[in-house]
Amino acid sequence: MLPNERYSMQKIGLFFGSFNPIHIGHIAIAGYMKEFSDLDQVWFVVSPQNPLKKKDNLLNDRDRLYLAGLATAGNDGLKASDIEFGRPAPSYTIDTMALLKEKYPKNKFVLVMGEDNLYTLHKWKNAVELVSQFPVYVYPRPDAVKTTNELLEEILKKASVKWVKAPLMEISGTFIRNGIKRGKNMSYYLHPAVWKYIVEMHFYE
């Protein structure tokens, strides 16, 4: 389900995540990035396994990808990508970016991340190399905390960071999963097609 080659020669924002499940917070942020920055598209890069997160309560890879596809169906500005599927887990962003550059040499790629993730870059594989090659577009997160770390400061000095004042979003996958487990109606926080499929498949119950 990689976005089609016809989208070449564009500036693409890559929004990495587990999307467990993808919710309206993700869509709102990606949509804001697409409409209020210089990005032509935003691709949701569904990660089979984030090396910094546990795999507990993680829905099957293909199911999460399918839900991301449902949430972005019919939207030319937002796409779901399976670029990290079929590759060794856990997934490292620097390796995925190299693969994307090879597959789409005419595109310019940008990393899209929350403020909280920005402050974990010192834990990422080859982070200095990563930020030296790709700009980083950051949206605010209310729970973001920056700790004192020399390596992080070195990385941030080398990074080309663009702050995008997207709406603050406190919705999380954990909140949605816990609500479903408790039998709550969580349709308010999900694309209708995503909610319908989750209910039909009894996900997160």
pLDDT in tens, 106-158: 999 999 999 999 999 999 999 999 999 999 999 998 888 998 999 999 999 99
Residue 12 phi, psi (nearest 5): -115, 125
Question: Taking the CB of residue 181, how many other CB atoms lie within 10 A of it?
Answer: 11
The confidence score (pLDDT) of residue 86 equals 81
Tell me the CB-side half-sphere exposure of residue 71, using CA atoms within 13 A. 33
pLDDT of amino acid 96: 95
DSSP-derived secondary structure letter, 3: P
Instruction: List, as one string, the DSSP characters of 125-160.
Output: TTHHHHHHHS-EEEE--TT--PPP-HHHHHHHHH--
Mean pLDDT of the 82-91 span:
86
118 vs 137: CA distance, rounded Å: 10
Instruction: Enumerate the domain spans of the chain.
Output: 5-171
Tokens 């982070």 locate to 127
Side-chain-side CA neighbours of residue 83 (13 Å) = 26
pTM over the 0.85 mark: yes
Q: Count of alpha carbons within 13 Å of 9, Cβ hemisphere only?
A: 1
Q: Provide the edge-to-edge strand list for the sheet that holds 11-17.
A: 78-81, 41-46, 11-17, 108-114, 136-139, 161-163
Domain 5-171 classified CATH 3.40.50.300?
A: no
| Spatial distance between the Cα atoms of 200 and 52, rounded to a whole number of angstroms | 31
Would the pLDDT of 7 be above 50?
no
Q: What is the pLDDT of residue 55?
A: 63
How many CB atoms are closer than 10 A to CB 105? 9
